[in-house]
Amino acid sequence: MSTKCPKCDTENTQDSQFCKKCATSLPIEKGQPSFTKTLETPIEELTRGTTFADRYEIIEELGSGGMGQVYRVEDTKTNEEIALKLIRPEVAADKKTIDRFRNELTTARKIRHKNVCGMYDLGEYKGTHFITMEFVPGQDLKGLIRQSGQLAVGTTINIAKQICDGLTEAHKSGVVHRDLKPSNIMIDKEGDVRIMDFGIARSLEAKGITGAGVMIGTPEYMSPEQVEAKEIDRRSDIYSLGVILYEMVTGRLPFEGDTALSVAVKHKTEAPPDPRELNPQIPEGLGLFILKCLEKDKEKRYQSAEELQSELTKIEKGIPTTDIKIPKRKPTTSKEITVTFSMKKVFLPALIGVALAITVVIVLLILPPKKAAPLLSDKPSLAVPYFENNTGDENLEYLRSGLSEWIIIDLSQSKYINVLSGDKIFSILKKLNLLEVEKLSSENLEKIASQGRVDHILKGSFIKIGDSFIITAMLQKPQTGEVISSIEARCRGEEEIPEKVDELTKKIKTDLNLSRKQIASDIDREVGKITTSSPEAFKQYMEGWKYHQQIRYGKSLEYMKKAIAEDPNFAMAYRTMSWAYRWQGMFPEQRDSLKKAYELKDRASERERYLIEGDYYQIVEKNLDKAIDSYETLLEIYPNDMLGNFNLAQVYIEQLEEWDKAIPPLEVLVKNREEAIWIYTYLGRAYTAKGLYDKVEELYRFYLDNFPEDMRIQAGLAFNYIYLGEYDFALAEYEKVLSSMPDKYGLSMMKGWIEIFKGNLEEAEKELKKVVEHKAPNVQITGMVSMIPLYYLQGKFNKSEKLIEEARGLTHVPHFESVHFSN
């Protein structure tokens, strides 16, 4: 029995599925096996290295979908990498469908645009139909959304504008996509958007092809007219783009359901939720733009891709930048430290004051920190927590802290912004147990701002597409939830990141409401030139800096040396090494590192340069006049700089004992409500040396009023009562300190000091020996330092000198090696 072709009347065998002459689908006779079974036969899987159609060498499978499988292949005739899409049998079964493919591809091939993936040809090999097209290395938009959750507003608009460019060109050629969705949008290595699969969706709209479980289009992105099977035009693509925009900024689709049909019906009947309900950070203009794209009536939508492009440009320009006014912070209290107290005589030799001050310092090292106070400044203040690594690549984890540090260093050059230092950020994140937390919540950000006493947070993330990076950041006020701006930078590789950091920080300055005059007059050297332009060197530096902050100086030095091996001119790494050597008691190595840092000081920031000079003159050349000049020059540029003021005061206290000159820079920091405990203990020490005991008490009470219940300051307050001769008050105050300690060795120390001041030296020795015999090293050091003036007063000078040497070998107190008591 034969089967006649309904088109050309050619006789075919009974089991033929297509006419042997014209390939028309043949009718199925009753009782004849259904072709449906044949359609269920899968396409033969192609493995790496095999060749398809005697031409296309398989490199890798890229994915599969409703159309079939997609492969990255090498065209052996042209030696080019292209994409090969094998069409499923059930799709290719109808000759009319294949004809439509061919006709549509002929039109789509005419589209030549940077934002449209090039379509090549339709072919057949051994019954398998396939399409060849341009291969676009990168990531599809769907994966990017899944990776990031929500895209930044700037990123969203950038991608949307490129899609509009591609649609404009296609629509001019008379081609409507009909299946626009994130998985059909690729982002290549350069960050350019490419729209895929033009010319395919329309070809699938033949009647009879929707059977056997094949659905045409994607319900989540269908326009209402597609759902109703009405006439489709370019406004359908505009609707689909609205859905894509909605998903980019919210991380969710406007309509979801249990079945494809339920989702499609919602597109036809339900109004989409306002995207700003899901993401309040979306600008109002962008939210309204998305909702207009999603109008049910296509006459109410934007009518062309050119119109979309124009509106997006207006929205982009309207994102808040310099029009945002940053209110000046007000001090939380009007209390100030006065300077009107009369001087009192020191009733014991100055050496007791020095030893007592060192003892206080050591005690303070043991006690826990307390909560922060508000920052006093008329400048905008900023914290830059670690960035989110959305690449999935653990080798890029260093950029979490690395990007934060680069931005901090760059912005710290500014005379008009207060930026939390990298070690302060580390300290806060560690205290809040957020060091390993990738995605910081709004609550986390508010806690960081509170701990750091700042009014702005820069929350950032980065992704990688091919060899390129996209860095996004959002500047916001975490206390109110107000978003100031969204910022984005694209890097062609790790080596370009420092350059892009410079672009980001310029935008941040503008968004923090710095005037043009301020920005123009500000210090703003390229961050790669004041740190390193080598990503590998900076990676090693950040790893070393992590250990440095953990007080693991040996490990820190390992990585600093690796950083210097990558970039021998890395001045900042040498300065960090000098401090790591110092805290390990390796003073010759410290001096060598400082010498190298000094040679490279021009490759450091202006601030870092003067700190390097100050350290170098003080420690290497021992030229205190030059050290003071360096710190004072630094303070002429940055009058409120914490390290500059503190280091200057430290030289006057530790090296010169010029108390009057030490007091003003420390009082600047107190006035600014800097929290660092060393500021208050050093200023208290200077006041003590001047006999200003009432002023010491007021200073410490001031601290406790603004930073409540700080045990370390209470310890200083207790010692101050000894100077005042108020021994009962001293013991009572110290009892508060002891409440936070596991044992009561401190009571013996306090009693020992009181007996020294009373002149009962034998009783003092009994009490202080209890402290020296303690197992904990820090406690031993405290007892040893307390015994030094006791032996001096007893005339036991050799014992006094011996204790100094022993304590010097155990302690990490700055400048302790300079302490010496002369006979």
Q: What is the pLDDT of residue 521?
A: 85
Residue 210 in this model has a pLDDT that exceeds 50:
no
Q: Choose the final residue of a domain: 478, 499, 530.
A: 530
Pairing of strands 11-13, 51-52: unpaired
Supply the range of the domain harboring residue 471.
381-530
The pLDDT assigned to 6 comes to 64
Residues 61 and 173 in one domain: yes
Distant-in-sequence, close-in-space partners of 759: CB < 8 Å, separation ≥ 6: none
Separation between Cα atoms, residue 244 and residue 290, nearest integer Å: 9
Q: How confident is the model at residue 812 (pLDDT cuts 50, 70, 90)?
A: very low
181 pLDDT tier (thresholds 50, 70, 90) = very high
**pLDDT of amino acid 389:** 94
793 alpha-carbon distance from chain centroid: 56
pLDDT at 347 over 60: no
Range of lowest pLDDT (71-75, 259-263, 309-313, 448-452): 259-263
176 and 295 share one domain: yes
* Burial of residue 590 (number of CB atoms within 10 Å: 0-12, 13-18, 19+): buried
Give yes or no for residue 336 having a pLDDT over 90. Answer: no
Tens-digit pLDDT profile for residues 391-413: 989 889 999 999 999 999 999 89
State the Cα–Cα distance between residues 507 and 807, nearest whole angstrom: 51
Which one of 530, 563, 584 terminates a domain? 530
Same domain, 362 and 482: no
pLDDT band at 662 (very low <50, low <70, confident <90, very high): very high
Quick one: 363 and 414 in the same domain? no
Give the lowest-confidence range in 210-219, 222-231, 518-527, 578-587: 210-219
CA distances from residue 536 to 454, 566, 601 in whole angstroms, order as listed: 32, 7, 21
491, part of any domain = yes
Q: Highest-confidence range of 17-21, 433-437, 499-503, by mean pLDDT?
A: 499-503
In this prediction, residue 558 carries a pLDDT of 94
Judged against a pLDDT cut of 80, whether residue 715 lies above it is answered with no
Please determine, for residue 293, whether its predicted confidence score (pLDDT) is greater than 90: yes
Q: Residue 5: pLDDT band by 50, 70, 90 thresholds?
A: low
The reply to whether 619 falls in a domain is no
pLDDT score at 124 = 86
**CATH number for the domain including 701?**
1.25.40.10
Q: Which residue is listed with tokens 């029995």?
A: 1
Do 90 and 206 lie in a common domain? yes
Q: Is residue 445 part of a domain?
A: yes
**DSSP one-letter string for 88-122:** PHHHHTSHHHHHHHHHHHHHHTT---TTBPPEEEE
pTM: 0.52
Cα 108 from Cα 167, distance rounded (Å):
12
Question: 517 or 321: which carries more pLDDT confidence?
Answer: 517
- C-alpha to C-alpha distances, 740 to 239, 428, 709, 794, nearest whole angstrom: 64, 22, 11, 33
What is the per-residue pLDDT for 809?
61
Question: What pLDDT does 66 receive?
Answer: 59
Whether residue 731 is predicted with pLDDT greater than 90 in this model: the reply is no
Helical H runs in 652-796?
659-671, 677-689, 693-706, 711-723, 727-738, 745-758, 761-772, 777-793
Judge whether 305 and 168 are in contact, CB under 8 Å. yes
In a domain? residue 172: yes
Q: What is the pLDDT of residues 128-155, one digit of tens each?
A: 888 898 888 888 898 888 877 788 888 8
Confirm if 646 and 637 have CB atoms less than 8 A apart.
Answer: no
Question: Helices 350-366 and 777-793, interaxial angle, to 10°?
Answer: 170
**pLDDT at position 259 over 80:** no
CB 561 within 8 A of CB 543: no
pLDDT at position 320, please?
Answer: 40
Q: Are residues 449 and 390 in the same domain?
A: yes
Number of domains in the chain: 3
My answer on whether 250 and 174 are in the same domain is: yes
Same domain membership, residue 787 and residue 755: yes
For residue 159, being part of any structural domain is answered with yes
The answer to which of 69-83, 103-117, 331-345, 404-418 has the lowest mean pLDDT is 331-345
Is the model's pLDDT at 386 over the cut of 90? yes
Q: Which residue's structure tokens are 């035009």?
A: 233
Contact 28, 34 (CB under 8 A): yes
pLDDT higher than 70, residue 321? no
Residues 260 and 351 in one domain: no
Q: Averaged over 264-290, what is the pLDDT?
A: 89
Higher model confidence: residue 60 or residue 26? 60
Q: How confident is the model at residue 303 (pLDDT cuts 50, 70, 90)?
A: very high
Region 748-775 average pLDDT: 77
Digit-coded pLDDT (tens) for 608-645: 999 999 999 999 998 999 999 999 999 998 888 888 99
CATH label of the domain that carries residue 476:
3.40.50.10070
Distance in angstroms (rounded) separating the CA atoms of residues 496 and 554: 31
- Amino acid 306: pLDDT: 93
Place 94 in a pLDDT band, splitting at 50, 70 and 90. low
Residue 792 is predicted with a pLDDT of 67
Q: How far is residue 199's CA from residue 134's CA, in Å, rounded to a whole number?
A: 14
Please report how the helices 553-566 and 571-583 are oriented relative to each other, as an axis angle in degrees rounded to 10: 160
Establish if 61 belongs to a structural domain: yes
Cβ of 640: how many Cβ atoms within 10 Å? 17
* CATH number of the domain bearing residue 128: 1.10.510.10
Q: Tell me which of 104-113, 598-607, 787-796 is least confident.
A: 787-796
- Between 745 and 448, the more confident residue is 448
With cut-offs at 50, 70 and 90, classify the pLDDT of residue 726: confident
What is the average per-residue pLDDT within 709-724?
A: 73
Amino acid letter, residue 633? T
Supply the Cα-derived Rg of the chain in whole angstroms. Answer: 36
Q: Is residue 95 part of a domain?
A: yes
Per-residue pLDDT, 143: 84
> Measured between alpha carbons, how far is 47 from 69 in angstroms, rounded to an integer?
12
Question: Which pLDDT band, with edges at 50, 70 and 90, does 816 fall under?
Answer: very low
Higher pLDDT, 74 or 27: 74
> What's the whole-number mean pLDDT along residues 245-251?
93
- Asked if 147 and 240 sit in the same domain, the reply is yes
Tell me the DSSP string of 524-565.
Answer: ---HHHHS-S-HHHHHHHHHHHHHHHTT-HHHHHHHHHHHHH
The answer to whether residues 357 and 429 belong to one domain is no
DSSP, residue by residue, 45-89: PPPTT-EETTTEEEEEEEEE-SS-EEEEEEETTTTEEEEEEEPPH
Q: Which of 280-289, 363-372, 386-395, 408-417 has the weakest average pLDDT?
A: 363-372
Contact 121, 115 (CB under 8 A): no
Q: What is the pLDDT of residue 378?
A: 66
Q: How many CB atoms lie within 10 A of CB 762?
A: 9
What's the rounded Cα separation, in Å, for the pair 148 and 182?
14
The number of beta carbons lying within 10 Å of the beta carbon of residue 806 is 14
- Mean pLDDT for 410-425 is 87
Catalytic residues: 179
The pLDDT value recorded for residue 1 is 52
The whole-chain average pLDDT of the chain stands at 78
How many angstroms separate the CA atoms of 499 and 532, rounded? 11
Q: Is residue 367 part of a domain?
A: yes
Q: Higher-confidence residue: 375 or 94?
A: 94
With tokens 């006690």, the residue in question is 367
| pLDDT above 70 coverage of the chain, percent | 76
Q: Are residues 280 and 360 in the same domain?
A: no
Q: Is the model more confident about 813 or about 695?
A: 695
Helices (H) and strands (E) in the chain, counts: 34, 17
Q: How far, in Å, are 354, 748, 749 from residue 766 at the CA level?
A: 22, 9, 10
Q: What is the pLDDT of residue 810?
A: 58
484 three-state secondary structure: strand
What number is the average pLDDT over the span 1-8? 63
Give residue-wise pLDDT tens across range 191-208: 789 998 875 645 444 333
Q: Residue 800 — very low, low, confident or very high, per pLDDT cuts 50/70/90?
A: low
